[in-house]
């Protein structure tokens, strides 16, 4: 059986096509990697590279990608609507086929130690977290890049790898191993950010919504229309259609329509089973029917 690991590297640049292409070229310059998705968002000012391969190839490719991104991105000049704390913001590794969580954590720690040796502060999260309070990306990234100087001066926020002081150009990076998540955005027909924040409260786990939903409201596009930007961290327990219907209902209560949705990056095929069953009413549907 082919052993496969997935990496989903988020860098803090979504506008400069030349820079993004240079990072992509560094990733694919050697080895055998399958680039599943490359998603750049100018409003977020963020690009996500998603690729798979055997664990050693994924580790080597990630180091090439990250080296180039750290070289080219200067966080002191970065502005975007998406939360971020570093030039290379977050590097999750996801076991796919024949790779255990323990092996994937070994890859993440190898990568983290290497990046730390490059002079970038590194925090481990999710399955590789060194402390309970570092399991959540949201908690680690609270305050974003701008809060790092004060945050890293506190003993409890010393990085797991790399310099124990703020690095202005690179910021800090979070890496670890996680369950396959679904990055799901819902766009509203309104520029009223206050309405978006009220809707977020209804779906986000931290404010009494679904425990597997992390969400923020962002202005996007030239008109500043509001987007509910989410990570569904366990699509089995909290399926896509349930979250979408809740947002649609909450938006209607404010007299606001849903104008469209976005699935960012790859989506596990199993995550779409509930969508098919719910909206097509094909209750006997099985993923075994997909070929």
Q: What is the mean pLDDT of each run of 10 residues along the chain (291 residues)?
A: 88 97 96 92 94 96 98 96 95 91 96 98 96 92 96 94 96 94 94 96 94 93 91 92 97 96 84 89 80 72
Please report the pLDDT score of residue 97 as a whole number. Answer: 82
Please report the pLDDT score of residue 34 as a whole number. Answer: 93
Please report the pLDDT score of residue 266 as a whole number. Answer: 77
Please report the pLDDT score of residue 271 as a whole number. Answer: 87
- Active-site amino acid positions: 82
Q: Which long-range contacts (CB under 8 A, 24 or more apart) does 67-74 make?
A: 67/26, 67/118, 68/22, 68/23, 68/26, 69/9, 69/11, 69/13, 69/23, 70/118, 70/120, 70/170, 72/13, 72/19, 72/22, 72/23, 73/11, 73/12, 73/13, 73/19, 73/170, 74/169
Please report the pLDDT score of residue 268 as a whole number. Answer: 82
Domains of the chain: 4-177 (3.30.990.10), 182-289 (3.30.70.670)
């Amino acid at each position: 059986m082919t052993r496969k690991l997935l990496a989903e590297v988020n860098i803090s640049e979504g506008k400069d096509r030349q820079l993004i292409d240079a990072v992509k070229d560094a990733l694919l310059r050697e080895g055998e990697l399958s680039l599943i998705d490359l998603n750049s968002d100018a409003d977020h000012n963020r690009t996500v590279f998603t690729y798979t391969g055997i664990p050693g190839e994924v580790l080597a490719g990630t180091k090439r990608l990250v080296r180039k991104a750290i070289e080219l991105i200067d966080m002191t000049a970065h502005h975007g609507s998406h939360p971020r704390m570093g030039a290379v913001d977050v590097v999750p590794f996801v076991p796919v086929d024949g790779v255990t969580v323990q092996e994937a954590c070994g890859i993440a720690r190898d990568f983290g130690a290497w990046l730390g040796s490059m002079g970038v502060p590194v925090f481990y999260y999710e399955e590789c977290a060194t402390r309970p309070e570092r399991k959540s990306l949201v908690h680690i990234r609270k305050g974003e890049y701008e809060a790092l100087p004060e945050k890293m001066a506190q003993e409890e926020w010393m990085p797991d790898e790399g310099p124990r002081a703020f690095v202005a150009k690179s910021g800090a990076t979070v890496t670890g191993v996680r369950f396959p998540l679904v990055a799901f955005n819902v766009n509203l027909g309104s520029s009223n950010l206050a309405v978006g924040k009220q809707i977020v409260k209804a779906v986000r786990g931290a404010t009494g919504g679904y425990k597997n939903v992390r969400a923020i409201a962002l202005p996007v596009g030239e008109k500043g229309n509001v987007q509910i930007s989410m990570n569904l961290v366990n699509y089995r327990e909290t399926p896509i259609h349930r979250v979408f219907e809740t947002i649609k209902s909450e938006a209607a209560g404010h007299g606001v329509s849903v104008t469209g949705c976005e699935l960012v990056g790859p989506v596990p095929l199993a995550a779409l089973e509930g969508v098919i069953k719910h909206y097509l009413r094909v209750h006997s549907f099985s993923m075994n029917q997909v070929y």
